[in-house]
Amino acid sequence: MIKILAAKEMLDQISSPKFVFLFAVSTVLILFSLYTGSSAYVGARSEFQSTEALSRRELENRKNYFELGQFGVKIARRPAPLSAVAGGVSSALGRSARVRPEQQPEIAPPPLADTPVLAVLGQLDLNTVVKVFLSLFVLLLTYNAVAGEKESGTLKAVLANPVPRTQLLLGKTLGLFGTFVMATALPAIIGVLVMKLGFGIELAGGDWVRLGAIGVASLLYLLAIFATGILVSTVTARSAVAFLVLLLVWVAFVEVIPKASPMLASQIRPAPSYASLQSDRDRFQAEFQQSMFRVMSSAFAQAAPGSADSPDEGERRQHVLDSLMSRGRDSLQADLQTELARVDEAYRNRQDGMTRLALFLSRFSPAAAMSHAVEVMAGTDFEAHRRWRDELIGYRGSLEGYLKSKGVTFGGFRIQVRTESSSGGRSSNTTFRLGGPSTEDTRLDLSALPQLSSQPESFGRALARAAPDLVIMALWGAVALLFAFTRFMKYDVR
């Protein structure tokens, strides 16, 4: 009986103009979103390759290790292949960074800085199509599933026969959802083939598994919206009322809750801005420079020229200056790095805390839960950017160790002192090197230069992070269907 009812519902829907419209619009949106997403990924991949080539040329043109430490190393972030499906934060955050010793990594402006109109109008990727458009199409299929048939008298005629209500609603549910899957599955398969063959996007075995998980997350979200539509249709007597209620619910799920969550999180757990972080860092740097100047003045006073002029006097003064400066500089730099690390860690912790709270609050919306799960699987969520930022900080330490092994120290000074010779009244210039590195041209040995090897997150770890969102969508759909069936058992068909 259930199969017969489901098949009849599918045939009725497929033969209707509504299905033709749904199939045509879904095909255009899915193919266009995958086309634009694939084009964006190809552009990001070309930018990654160009940045890597530029970084190699820069390193080869450095004259000495001091210059290498001064300008640092430019690091490019490899784009995730599945960003063609879900762009996430990949276009809103920088794709490259410059790493210098004892400085915060400077992340380049994001692609949205070049095309700010995208920040206003948004991007159209498959994640957006599923979250916004396909969910709206689901509502168009379900708003009159029960209330509409009551208005037309069809429901009363069907229930006049010995048909159990549970089987009737289950057959109708399976038929409607099967119709929707038929209208969207074929365009999605064609779009993936275009992404793979038309743009040459290489997908490894793990990427195909992730793509399958993205499909599951999308289906769970659409099933949750579908169940909500069936539930509202069973609790209203008129299809117009059901459509209005579902439209309000859809707006809350897609727009209100996801956008209100960051604002609410910023009020509950406020975090400092990046400008305040830079202000604190600049203040500590200024205090360090002042302290270094006092150390330098004290060291120079203690290493002042003696009364007796001898050939070894310059070397003695240089040795005393180096000894005094190295002790003072190392102590001050250690204190500076401790303070900077403390400020940076406090900033990151508070920002990450606010972000996690915003994600938690947004999960009251199945649309936000779906977006988060899809972006986690695609490797384009905020956590992926945070891992890359931590990798840059770790690479900075490796770069500092490499430069120190080549004799480069940081924070040194050079001063030139005019002294009077005791014989002949002649003057001479004496240059003291106070802990500073040599700037003479040196052939660089880049074979031992540290390389940043960014490893993608394992599928198991990604699935564990996306599991709460998948469970939320599954529970939402199951509970909504349960209430719909319970309500339909007592539904007045008169």
Instruction: Walk along the chain (494 residues) and give the pLDDT tens digit of each residue.
Output: 788 888 888 888 888 888 888 899 999 999 999 999 999 899 889 999 999 999 999 988 888 888 888 888 999 988 999 999 998 877 777 788 999 887 778 888 776 655 655 555 567 889 999 999 999 999 988 998 888 888 888 888 887 888 888 888 888 899 989 989 888 999 999 999 988 888 889 888 889 999 999 999 999 999 999 999 999 999 988 889 999 999 999 999 999 999 999 899 989 988 888 788 888 888 888 888 888 788 777 777 776 655 445 556 666 666 766 677 677 777 787 788 788 888 888 888 888 889 889 989 998 999 999 999 999 999 998 888 888 888 888 898 888 888 888 877 665 544 444 444 444 444 444 444 444 445 555 667 788 888 887 778 889 999 999 999 999 999 999 999 999 999 988 877 77
How far apart, in whole angstroms, are the C-alpha atoms of residue 156 and residue 159? Answer: 5
Q: What token pair was written down for 140?
A: 């168009």
Nearest Cα residue to 228 out of 478, 13, 5: 478
Looking at the chain, the number of H-run helices and the number of E-run strands are 17, 5
Q: What is the DSSP letter of 435?
A: B
Q: What is the DSSP letter of 146?
A: T
Quote the pLDDT of residue 429.
47
How far apart, in whole angstroms, are the C-alpha atoms of residue 196 and residue 188? Answer: 12
Nearest Cα residue to 370 out of 138, 119, 170: 138
Count of all residues that appear for the chain in the document: 494
Quote the pLDDT of residue 476.
94
Quote the pLDDT of residue 113.
56
Q: What is the DSSP letter of 111?
A: G
| Cβ partners under 8 Å of residue 82, min gap 6 | 203, 207, 210, 211, 214, 377, 378, 379, 380
Residue 392, SS3? Answer: helix
Residue 204, SS3? Answer: coil
H or E element in which residue 233 lies: helix 205-235
Quote the pLDDT of residue 227.
94
Quote the pLDDT of residue 117.
55
Quote the pLDDT of residue 470.
95
How far apart, in whole angstroms, are the C-alpha atoms of residue 146 and residue 154? Answer: 10
Cβ contact 494:156 at 8 Å: yes
Quote the pLDDT of residue 121.
57
Region of 203 please: left (phi>0), alpha (psi -120 to 50) or beta: beta
How far apart, in whole angstroms, are the C-alpha atoms of residue 194 and residue 484? Answer: 39
Quote the pLDDT of residue 3.
84
Cβ contact 211:195 at 8 Å: no
